[in-house]
Amino acid sequence: MNHVVVTGADRGLGYALCEAFLARGWQVYAGRFLPDWPALDQLKQRCGDRLTLVPLDVSCGDSVAAAARAVAAHTCRVDMLINNAGIVNRGEGTLGEADFSLD
């Protein structure tokens, strides 16, 4: 079985990707930013153990590390990582001026 991690899986494109990979028989680790959003819980009820919900805030290094540990607790490999989550800089400036450091 193939394993995929999808960040930003709560809704929209990330959610649709989770559905598509589950339909193809993959084990899916869904990075969840919105714990009160019900869609992933409903999908988990339909798919059972093939979907693992992983709390994940990509703007927080500790959260990213905890998510990596959570996935590693279930599998020794990841065949695909889809980084669908992002961090919005609501301040002034352009993308070229964004701070991409991990601290």
Q: Is 89 helix (H, G, I), strand (E, B) or coil?
A: coil
CA angle at residue 78 from 35 to 32, to 5 degrees? 5
pLDDT band at 102 (very low <50, low <70, confident <90, very high): low
Q: Model's pTM, two decimal places? A: 0.84
Taking alpha carbons only, the member of 66, 80, 77 closest to residue 18 is: 80
Tell me: the pLDDT tens digits for 46-57? 999 999 999 999
Tell me: the pLDDT tens digits for 22-46? 999 999 999 999 999 999 999 999 9
CA distance 36 to 33: 9
Query: Are the CB atoms for 40 and 32 separated by under 8 Å?
Result: yes
pLDDT band at 100 (very low <50, low <70, confident <90, very high): low
What is the maximum alpha-carbon separation in the chain?
45
How much of the chain, in percent, has pLDDT values that exceed 70?
A: 83
